[in-house]
Amino acid sequence: VASGLESMVIGEAQILGQIKAALARAHAAGIVEVRLEIIIHGAIRAGRRARNETELGRNPVSAGHAAVATAAQLLGDLAGRGVLLVGAGRMSEVALRLLRNRRIGPVYLTSRTLQRADRVARPLGGQAVEFEAIGDIVDDVDIILSSSDAPHHLFDKHAVEVFQSRRGGRRLLIIDMAVPRDIHPEVSGVSGVNLLNIDDLHMVAEANRVRRTAWVPSAERIIEEELRKTRLALEARDSAPTIRALVDRVEGLAETVLERHLARVPAADLKTRASMRNLADALAANFLHGPIRALRESPDPALEASVMNDAFDLDRELS
């Protein structure tokens, strides 16, 4: 899930951010159990690696993302490019957010009413304009992205020719994402104009979806690796009580034997007693090294812990 393999759009990154945010909120509320946190961190690592080590998130598969990616491909760096958005619906809002990430500007938005356009444009740093006033700002525009719900063409060949005359014939990219079309097909014949429509974007998005799908096996291998690491982390945590019990048992036995021998030599001086204690501690530490290492490095810590419990009779310490 965190890697986006279960999303409607394969490789979609939003879910990873949502998981991180949910963990942060749970931490703030003090309700994160340690085992659950280990699992969530494993999921986050898997999601991050899937995005960084594969192409899952690098090819846009939605029309809006494809529009922006295509604009960058055709025009190069979009920073400082002027954009006119036609229509104040969800498509324009998404496109405007994506374009803002590319540091575009200025941004104009027009809709049926100036109030509607302003409601979408203002929070995102855009400027609302009357549809009839487009001619006044078209010289500042390099990209027109149209996604209105008009039942007819909004721009015909003549209108765009007028735009181009005002712009001095500079290259103009027009992306028509509306159904039915906002832009008359004849506009593609205007000098200096590149016209793309929603079908072109869907073709780009589908090709990218196929590319993403090809990376699914690689992402699944990453998930398996992180799943194995997470399982080992959980098992290591589960073996911690056994390690503590083993240490308590061995150190307790060493202390018992030491006290018994010290009782037999009541005349021993402090130096001798200290030497005997150091010897007992060293023997206990050396004895514990092997079993503890086996517990920590075992491919099956749970089984290893069970064997240790039986071999050293640790039930009392664990109870």
Domain-by-domain residue ranges, the chain?
63-204, 231-318
Distance in angstroms (rounded) separating the CA atoms of residues 193 and 184: 13
Q: Where is pLDDT greater, at 305 or 84?
A: 84
Are 92 and 109 a contacting pair, CB within 8 Å? yes
CA distances from 205 to 58, 61, 72, 198 (A): 12, 4, 15, 10
Are 224 and 284 a contacting pair, CB within 8 Å? no
Which of 14-18, 124-128, 167-171, 288-292 is most confident?
Answer: 167-171
Confidence at 80, pLDDT banded by 50, 70, 90 = very high
pLDDT at 305 over 80: no
Q: Which ranges constitute the DSSP H helices of the chain?
A: 14-29, 34-53, 63-75, 90-100, 114-121, 134-137, 157-167, 198-214, 216-264, 270-297, 301-312, 315-318
Please, what is the average pLDDT of the chain?
86
Q: Sheet harboring 127-128: ordered strands across?
A: 127-128, 107-110, 83-86, 143-146, 172-176, 193-197
Confidence at 1, pLDDT banded by 50, 70, 90 = confident
Q: Where is pLDDT greater, at 215 or 83?
A: 83
Confidence at 60, pLDDT banded by 50, 70, 90 = low
| CATH architecture of the region 63-204 | 3-Layer(aba) Sandwich (3.40)
Sequence-distant (6+) residues with CB within 8 A of 103 are 78, 79, 80
Confidence at 317, pLDDT banded by 50, 70, 90 = low
Q: Which pLDDT value is given to residue 8?
A: 58
**Antiparallel, parallel or unpaired: β 83-86 and 193-197:** unpaired
pLDDT at 217 over 80: yes
